Amino acid sequence: MVLAGAAFFGNVAVAKTPSPQLETVALASLPSEAQATERLIRAGGPFPYTQDGRSFGNRERQLPAERRGYYREYTVKTPGSRDRGARRIVCGGAQATAPDACFYTDDHYTSFRRIVQ
């Protein structure tokens, strides 16, 4: 009985959470530090912080839903900050140096804007 129920429910489609509608921002209008980080991403580094290039979990669900490991995060230097600060670029895609999309946050993942050329 349990196996039959599992087989039945295994075929039920689960609704996906809709992707958030994100504003866009031109790369040229971002702070110079963000532009420099974007160039480093496309060049494959070297990155100033050991955390750069690590997987970003999208736990806040501010970015479109993707498989685990799809997103990577990179620090955008914040002048005057004694730590990494709140600014990040998060990119998604199979190839780190040619991402499908990149997103900028200046408030430590509270909000994102999709970067456009």
**Residues annotated as catalytic (active site), given as ranges:** 73, 108
How far apart CA 80 and CA 53 sit, in angstroms, is: 23
Is the Cβ–Cβ distance between 106 and 36 less than 8 Å? Answer: no
Tell me the domains of the chain and their CATH numbers.
19-116 (3.10.450.30)
Per-residue pLDDT of the chain (117 residues; tens, 9 = 90+): 444 444 444 444 444 444 568 999 999 999 999 999 999 999 999 999 999 999 999 999 999 999 999 999 999 999 999 999 999 999 999 999 999 999 999 999 999 999 998
- pTM to 2 decimal places: 0.82
